Structure 1
Amino acid sequence: MTTGVGPAVDDWLAAHVPGIAPPLTFDLVSGGRSNLTYRVTDATGTVRALRRPPTGGVLSTAHDMSREWRFVTALAPTEVPVPEPLAYCVDTSVTGAEFYVMDFVDGTVGADRDAVAHWPLDARRRAGTSLVEVLAALHRLDPTEVGLGDMARPRGYVERQLHRWQRQVHRSGAPDLELLDTVHDALLARVPPQSSGIVHGDFRPGNLSFAPDGTVVAVFDWELATLGDPLADLGWLVSTWEQPGDTVPPTTAGPTTAPGFCTRTELVDAYAKASGLDVSRLPYYVAFSRWRSACIGAGVASRFAAGVMGENDLPVEELHRQVLRQSEAAHEAVRDLDRP
């Protein structure tokens, strides 16, 4: 089904979500290249959220809903703010894929500058300190103690990630992968010593919900979560943290060029203080993040070009140009690792 939901979902939710009152209405909140999120409103006006995979053009190893559910349910009792998990459906006949339901968290998702335009400067400053506090809290958790110790091998995170994204970009049919292959080989040859913890995989303002004062009230989109080096999350966050005057594009656009947001240096210093971790290996993870972003972008552009992901706001040629810019940025970041 192109909408991702259907009449059978009403019956399933009525049977499995306590207190829900049909009839239900579904409104797509976000989705497309990632998992789809629907706002589910029942007859009393109570709102919940439903997460399911995209309806087409997905890779076989992507969009594991049970993985998201494991992380959300494990983290719900901790100090890391996540929506309350309500129910999980393993019956793919209900709507064509597994899905889960959680509480709907009101707040502002920091997707871009427009999203935070109404915030005062103090709220933007608070957003930076709050997300660092949440990220450090996540990285302080012991995966085994919260029931996630079996989610991945505790060692070799970087090697696994390099293999995964290299394999996926080649399977996507993306053209002109020579530069990405060069960066892959350079990263593989320079893997630093690694620690282990819970890694969100896409931690940035666009996957966080904020209260009016800038405090983080929920972390969303756990589809890339795994166990690995916490600095991978910080490297990704830094690579997305655009600031005025940048000449290198961010891996993912966000709100952080708006006045009031902290600088990347302030962000890293705050994380180092909050987490107590040594951040000297961070440049490697920034380079890795740029390479991973280019791999993801190349796969997306290839699937749009093949016509399996519907329409896109940008021409495929522009998507390919963005991938090239990010690939070049990754290459430069890797070369910087060897400079004194």
Structure 2
Amino acid sequence: MSLAERLEAYLTRTWGQPVTVADLSRIPGGASRETYRFVAKAGGEAKALILRRDPPGSLIETDRSLEYLALESFHDRVPAPRPIAMDAEGAELERPFFIMERVEGGTVVSPFMAMPYGAHARTVGEAFFDILGRIAGADPAGLPLAKVAETPAPEDCWRIAVDHWAAVIEADEQHPQPIVRAAIRLLRRRPPPPPSAVRVVHGDYRGGNFLHAPDGRILAVLDWEMVHLGDPLEDLAWAIDPLWNPFDTTTVAAMIPRDEALAIWSKASGLTVDEEALAWWSLFAAVKGQAIWTSAAKEYRDGGFKEPILAVSGWYTARRHDQILAAAMLRLEDLS
């Protein structure tokens, strides 16, 4: 059976009525999920949907139920797609998957281009950091995500994060990486203060992971597959990592000045920004990035998943993050 036929069978059984799948096509890119657009026709209605299916190999190993429940938790709180159905076992489509509504009319732009948001950079930036603040401001206790996400003690957030990504580097590196190893030692030697509250961390909140309209409105935050509970500064540090803004040192994320971004985030979240803690998490963000690029290089070389994004990630972004790591280590030492 083709993928479309499998989808038809699954949706027919799930919805309890005959379903026809049309216009199924894969969306290029994506290194942690295969993403397809399609139209499901049932009962005289046509629904524009997105299929997210686990690939044979990936930059990161994540639990799709976390991503699905994150969308269930936030689709009515921030711009995000509404989840429709999930199969964590994957028997129907060969690998685990979930389906969500398709958000129309938006554009995803690469953070690696100059002036990615053009004249709407400020509009995009103000919304971008406001939405991130609202995610950080949400109490996770009453969210569907809390059903499956582990809740760490505040004082353990940093250690859990470092242990996880250091283990990824240990398992996947193809050659010695002295810069990231030095950064990991520094992170362990000078841990940050614990957060005032454990909150939802999107995990990959950055340029390139949201849809925005031609007028600069953000229509949907995407790619929640790395979501977890932890220190909300982890997301903020990742969002402002210099990797996502290679051409303009006067702004963060190629959007707005750093002080404005932090002020917007703080107002929306109700949380204060400790600069020394943010410096720690900024160094961690580069370590996390380097772990992801290390896995990308290994998967491209040894795995069965040959997407070009893996090769690019394992080379260009890895070299850039070495430079960022060196600068971030000096900044943390200075602040300490």
- Shift of the 96–267 alpha-carbon distance from structure 1 to 2, 3 Å rule, reads same
Change (3 A) 1:22 1:67: same
Once the two structures are TM-superposed, the CA of residue 20 in structure 1 deviates from its matched residue by 7.7
What percentage of aligned pairs have identical amino acids?
26
Instruction: Note closer, same or farther for the CA distance 1:310–1:191 as it changes in structure 2 (3 Å cut).
Output: same
CA distance in 2 between counterparts of 1:124 and 1:322 reads 23
Q: 1:339: how far off?
A: 1.2
Q: Which has the higher helix share?
A: 2
Note the alpha carbon deviations across 1:39-95, whole angstroms, 9 max, x for none.
012356531111111123566xx1311111121112234x22221111112342211
- State the Cα distance separating 1:17 from its structure 2 match: 4.4
Tell whether 2:330 aligns with 1:335.
Answer: yes
Which of 132, 135, 142 pairs up with 2:132?
135
Poorly superposed stretches of 4+, deviation over 3 Å: 17-21, 42-46, 112-117, 147-150, 243-247, 313-316, 318-322
Residue type of the alignment partner of 1:161: A
Once the two structures are superposed, residues 92-117 of structure 1 have per-residue CA deviations (whole angstroms, 9 ceiling, x without a partner) of 22112221111100112233477986
Map residues 265-276 of structure 1 onto 2, 5 A cutoff.
265-276=259-270
Partner of 2:180: 180
2:82 to 64, 84, 88: 84
- Please say which of residues 176-185 and 192-201 is displaced more in the overlay: 176-185
Mapping of residues 14-33 of structure 1, within 5 Å: 14-17=12-15, 21-33=19-31
Determine whether 1:111 maps to 2:106.
no
Q: The residue matched to 1:292 in structure 2 has which SS?
A: helix
CA contact (8 A) 2:37 2:51 kept: yes
The answer as to whether partners of 1:174 and 1:299 remain within 8 angstroms in 2 is no
In the alignment, structure 1 segments of 5+ residues that lack a partner are none
Question: What is the CA–CA distance in structure 1 between the aligned matches of 2:257 and 2:216, rounded to whole Å?
Answer: 16
Counterpart CA distance in 2 for 1:96 and 1:25 is 20
TM-score by length of 2: 0.85
Name the counterpart of 1:290.
286
Distance 1:236 1:46, change over 3 A: same
Aligned mates of 2:186, 2:209 — CA distance in 1: 30
Q: 2:304 maps to which residue?
A: 308
Cα-Cα RMSD? 3.0
The answer as to whether partners of 1:241 and 1:264 remain within 8 angstroms in 2 is no
> What is the number of equivalent residue pairs in this alignment?
322
Structure 1 pair 8–149 and aligned structure 2 pair: CA distance change class (3 A): closer
Instruction: Give runs of aligned pairs for residues 10-159 of structure 1, distance below 5 A.
Output: 10-17=8-15, 21-43=19-41, 46-56=47-57, 62-77=61-76, 79-106=77-104, 107-112=106-111, 121=119, 123-149=120-146, 151-155=149-153, 156-159=156-159
For residue 273 of structure 1, report the CA deviation from its aligned partner. 3.3
Deviation at 1:28, TM superposition (A): 1.2
